[in-house]
């Protein structure tokens, strides 16, 4: 029996991803119609080759028990169909807990109160972000990168991918201990976040490696931004976590590789590999430096000093 605290007046309908890149993310159904699909203009965009551009919609009809409305899911003549609780449907009224499958993704129709909504957001954040640095996890980074690549192809605009690796990080752990190593990664993550613009994304790629993509940035602008990150890390003093030595600091440097869309590649995974190749060239050439995947002229690089458009 539902408690008075969870009366229908307190509940709001939402879709919660049970699989895929947006797992646990709650999508509020606060509009009369919500389109699910692969297209850029879809209200709930699902990056899945088995999902049609406009795959299904959820809309309201009068006379239901949720604020006087019923919520209905309807297939929009999709190529692979829309399934409700495992059954292929054309149009069905949704009940609390129903599971909608489109392509490889499963979404649950849920009635959530405020506590439920905050809990789902928290779970999604735990899954999608690195708990040490607060940056995106590598999985979420690739999800956002694929989304950005698709948008950039449609809107014909550039972006850059950065791969970053802390130099001689094993020496930090060996000299100061793993607590200092973890604190150093956390502080480097904070430095990267401060330098990123709104819309850019950064992740802890794994271990002492970081990645980022910069929106509306050509190669020259990407190199300038990467050099700023490199310089900030070189100038910073990082915390030594050691009993009896309050205020102790140490220094590290970082090497960075840069690749650009669309000149280097139009494939997001290949761009990461290219930036990684440039990163390892920076390592081979002496570390604490920025290298681009392809050569760039001094004139081109000078153009990178111009501000990126907001």
pLDDT tens digits for range 214-263: 999 999 999 999 999 999 999 999 999 976 566 789 999 999 999 999 99
Mean pLDDT of 114-133: 64
Contacts of range 281-286, beta carbons closer than 8 Å, 24 or more positions apart: 281/257, 282/255, 282/256, 282/257, 283/165, 283/167, 283/255
Residues in the chain: 310
Instruction: Choose among 239, 241, 236: nearest CA to 253.
Output: 236
Report the pLDDT value the prediction gives residue 121, as an integer from 0 to 100: 56
Q: Across the strands, what pairs with 292? A: 258
pLDDT of 304 higher than 70: no
Q: Across the strands, what pairs with 58? A: 34, 73
Report the pLDDT value the prediction gives residue 209, as an integer from 0 to 100: 95
The count of C-alpha atoms lying within 13 angstroms of the C-alpha of 253, restricted to the half-sphere facing its C-beta, is 13
**What band does 83 get if pLDDT is binned at 50, 70 and 90?**
very high
Neighbours of 152 (CB within 10 A): 19
Report the pLDDT value the prediction gives residue 116, as an integer from 0 to 100: 66
Could you give the maximum distance between any two Cα atoms of the chain, in Å? 72
Q: Look at 117-121, 145-149, 181-185 and tell me which has the smallest mean pLDDT.
A: 117-121
pLDDT of 308 higher than 60: no
Q: Are 228 and 161 in contact (CB under 8 A)?
A: no
Strands laid side by side in the 69-75 sheet: 44-45, 33-37, 56-66, 69-75, 91-93
Question: What digits encode the pLDDT tens for the residues 254-289?
Answer: 999 999 999 999 999 899 999 999 999 999 999 999
Cis amide leading into 262 (omega within 30): yes
Report the pLDDT value the prediction gives residue 129, as an integer from 0 to 100: 67
**What band does 6 get if pLDDT is binned at 50, 70 and 90?**
very low
Q: How remote is the C-alpha of 190 from its chain's centroid?
A: 16
pTM of structure: 0.66
For 91, the token pair is 């149009």
| Distance from C-alpha of 121 to C-alpha of 31, rounded to nearest angstrom | 20
Q: Across the strands, what pairs with 203? A: 136, 211
pLDDT of 115 higher than 80: no
* Tokens 């094993």 -> residue: 170
Question: What digits encode the pLDDT tens for the residues 45-59?
Answer: 887 889 999 999 999
Annotated active-site positions, please?
208
The count of C-alpha atoms lying within 13 angstroms of the C-alpha of 30, restricted to the half-sphere facing its C-beta, is 6
Question: Of all residues in the chain, what percent carry a pLDDT higher than 70?
Answer: 84
pLDDT of 3 higher than 50: no
For 258, the token pair is 């840069």
Report the pLDDT value the prediction gives residue 22, as an integer from 0 to 100: 62
Per-residue CA distances from 284 to 256, 280, 288 (Å): 12, 6, 10
Contacts of range 185-188, beta carbons closer than 8 Å, 24 or more positions apart: 185/132, 185/133, 186/132, 186/133, 187/236, 187/238, 187/239, 188/133, 188/233, 188/238, 188/252, 188/254
Q: Across the strands, what pairs with 72? A: 59, 93
């Amino acid at each position: 029996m539902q408690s008075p605290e969870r009366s229908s007046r307190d509940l709001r309908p939402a879709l919660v991803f049970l699989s895929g890149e947006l797992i646990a993310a709650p999508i509020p159904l606060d509009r009369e119609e919500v389109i699910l699909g692969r297209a850029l203009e879809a209200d709930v965009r699902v990056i899945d080759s088995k999902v049609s551009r406009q795959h299904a919609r959820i809309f309201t009809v009068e006379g239901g028990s949720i604020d006087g409305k019923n919520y209905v899911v309807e297939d929009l003549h999709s190529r692979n169909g829309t399934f409700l609780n495992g059954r292929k449907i054309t149009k069905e009224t949704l009940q609390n807990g129903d599971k909608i499958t489109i392509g490889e993704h499963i979404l649950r129709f849920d009635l959530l109160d405020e506590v439920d909504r905050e809990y789902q957001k928290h779970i999604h954040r735990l899954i999608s972000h690195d708990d040490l640095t607060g940056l995106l996890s590598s999985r979420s980074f690739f999800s956002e990168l694929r989304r950005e690549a698709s948008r950039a192809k449609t809107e014909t605009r550039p972006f850059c991918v950065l791969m970053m690796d802390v130099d001689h990080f094993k020496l930090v752990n060996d000299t100061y201990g793993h607590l200092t190593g973890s604190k150093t990664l956390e502080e480097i993550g904070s430095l990267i976040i401060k330098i990123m613009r709104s819309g850019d994304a950064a992740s802890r790629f794994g271990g002492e490696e970081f990645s980022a993509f910069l929106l509306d940035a050509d190669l020259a602008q990407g190199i300038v931004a990467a050099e700023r990150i490199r310089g900030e890390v070189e100038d910073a003093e990082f915390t030594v976590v050691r009993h009896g030595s309050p205020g102790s600091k140490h220094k590290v440097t970082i090497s960075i590789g840069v690749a650009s869309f669309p000149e280097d590649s139009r494939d997001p995974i290949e761009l990461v590999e290219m930036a990684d190749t440039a990163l390892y060239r920076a390592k081979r050439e002496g570390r604490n430096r920025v290298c681009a995947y392809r050569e760039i002229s001094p004139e081109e690089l000078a153009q990178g000093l111009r501000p990126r458009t907001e």
